[in-house]
Amino acid sequence: MRAFVFLKLIFISLLVVSCTDSSSSLETPLIQAYDYDIIKELTLDEAAVVSAHPLASEVGAHILKQGGNAIDAAIAVQFSLAVVYPNAGNIGGGGFMVLHTKDGESYSIDFRETAPNAASKDMFLDEGGEVTDKSLNGHLASGVPGTIAGIFLAHEKFGKLPMDKLIEPAITLAELGFSITEAEAKGLNSKKTDFEKYNTKPPVFIKNTDWKDGDTLVQKDLAKTLRRIAKNGKTEFYEGKTAKLIVEEMERGGGIITMDDLKNYQAVLRKTRQFNYKDYSITTMDLPSSGGIMLQQMLHMALPYKLDTLEFHSPEAIQLMVEIERRAYADRTEYMGDPDYVTVPTQQLTDSLYLISRMKDYVPGKAGKSESIFPGLEESEETTHLSIVDKEGNAVAVTTTINTNYGSRVVVGEAGFILNNEMDDFSAKPNAPNAFGLLGTDANAIKPKKRMVSSMTPTIVTKDNKVFMVVGTPGGSTIITSLFQSIVNIIDFKLSPSMAVNAPKFHHQWLPDVVYIEKDFSPQAQTALTAMGYTLEKREPIGRTELILIDEKGKIHAIADKRGDDSAAGY
């Protein structure tokens, strides 16, 4: 139990007792916003939520208990994350939702940010043609936010409870405050100078003394914004007072998002990317995320090599997977962009013969070299994921982002929320690395209204059309390799769900030609890979995976990554 200095045990009544489902039992649920547990693993019978913050997961579980479905819960969790997890949870960013309904249908919602109308290809280059830091820091870094449009589209198509009930918990948490975790305190302290530098009005995140574990964070402006959204709906954010506050913030800080940009923003219901891996069907996000195509490429490159005959984290298995990852990232760099603006050769990139041929220069036991691996076709930090299943059989995977930690660090004056720095996901100039070291070409160049390529890969794995796994993670370029590894860890290496998430991960993204490994990576594997000719580099934790697995007996295993405050809830 987290205990706090003043033994504040304030019970916040989160949900009012009325809801549309008259059959549910309606006692008022209570969430202790000042004293809560981080729960890493739960085995449940009916429904589960895993997200980056215990309070948000609790909110999701309460919505499910009140008769809400997985989509309702995802919406309530997303709003709550915007309050309790400001470094990534957001209403000022964008993301993707993948869902599988109880009727066996799959959908995805694309609410990725777009470039403002006044954006231009070279906007982040200085006079000498060098890339500046403006795609990451301050007002110009923000794309037009998509989260609110995505949430409302999801609610209109699939929601059950009224929207104000789903926002209410977030309003309460913002208004009355909650205790921050040690990680959040560290995060806020580390960005204090940035918050001072990039804001035109001092946000609540700046305090005279350092933030500490257990401090209360109250966000009155954000509470008011959420209340207005609850009352006026989506247009509040895109045309109402909130829109005006965003544009005023832009004008004060030299940004370019206009009322027209906001008014014209549209979330899009897109076809999911669907493919088989062994006996499983994988449903995931298609472009403008590169994740779905690359996950398909990686799993299908792996198929002929029978990963299940290799030992987990044996040098042979790691080497094979590194070489697969290298080749998929080379293709991403060259070909991927917003499909509404560029023609991406998706069919060829996922063709099974192409993927077999892609591995023809793979030599077991010997490191490949990125300088001799090219995009393959012949010419012809901060993000957060949530996974939810409900008792009806609906499953939802949502990954949203404001890009790096605390996004652009710009908090919209009087509106209290952080804006993204997603413009950095465009390629500011051909082959200049972005914050994640990713390269791009013209396919991902900046154009007004265009969506920047993403790595976010919310994914649902089904077997015989029943949900088997709901999974996703933040981590920039490492998202796709984490997903690849979490999936084969379970399907091929037969790890427990908890091990599949928490075992050390590795990552190769073509360039730089380095295998990134987590600090606790097996020393034996390190020695073997070095002997094969690989350059290894230890790095910060890879991903924060939220995974739900439903086993053959129908038991639900909800796993929250050990790498953060991530927490599971359910019943």
Q: Pick between residue 177 and residue 474 the one whose CB is nearest to ligand DON.
A: 474
Q: Taking the C-alpha atoms of 393, 571, 91 and 71 in order, what is their torsion angle to the nearest 10 degrees?
A: 20
Work out how close the CB of 561 gets to ligand DON at its nearest, in angstroms, rounded to a whole number.
12
Work out how close the CB of 492 gets to ligand DON at its nearest, in angstroms, rounded to a whole number.
25
Check if 258 is active-site.
Answer: no
Distance from C-alpha of 95 to C-alpha of 382, rounded to nearest angstrom: 11
Q: Is 514 helix (H, G, I), strand (E, B) or coil?
A: coil
The residue count of the chain comes to 571
Pair of tokens at residue 247: 């544009």
Q: Pick between residue 67 and residue 476 the one whose CB is nearest to ligand DON.
A: 476
> Which class for 199: exposed (0-12), middle (13-18), buried (19 or more C-beta within 10 A)?
buried
**Nearest alpha carbon to residue 516 among 322, 317, 290:** 322
Work out how close the CB of 402 gets to ligand DON at its nearest, in angstroms, rounded to a whole number.
8
> Which class for 560: exposed (0-12), middle (13-18), buried (19 or more C-beta within 10 A)?
buried
- Angstrom CA distances, 229 to 9, 10, 91, 294, 488, stand at 29, 26, 11, 36, 41
Work out how close the CB of 288 gets to ligand DON at its nearest, in angstroms, rounded to a whole number.
9
Q: Pick between residue 111 and residue 521 the one whose CB is nearest to ligand DON.
A: 111
* Cβ neighbours for 174, distance < 8 A, ≥ 6 positions apart: 83, 218, 219, 220, 222, 223, 226, 416
Work out how close the CB of 94 gets to ligand DON at its nearest, in angstroms, rounded to a whole number.
8
Q: Pick between residue 115 and residue 467 the one whose CB is nearest to ligand DON.
A: 115
Q: Pick between residue 319 and residue 434 the one whose CB is nearest to ligand DON.
A: 434
User: Among the options 350, 383, 473, 478, which is catalytic?
Assistant: 383
The DSSP call for residue 67 is T
Q: Pick between residue 236 and residue 381 the one whose CB is nearest to ligand DON.
A: 381
Q: Which residues bind ligand DON (CB under 6 A)?
A: 381-383, 401, 403, 422, 425, 454-456, 474-476, 479
Work out how close the CB of 293 gets to ligand DON at its nearest, in angstroms, rounded to a whole number.
13
Distance between first and last Cα of the chain = 20
User: Cα 135 vs. chain centroid, distance in angstroms?
Assistant: 19
Residues catalogued as catalytic:
383
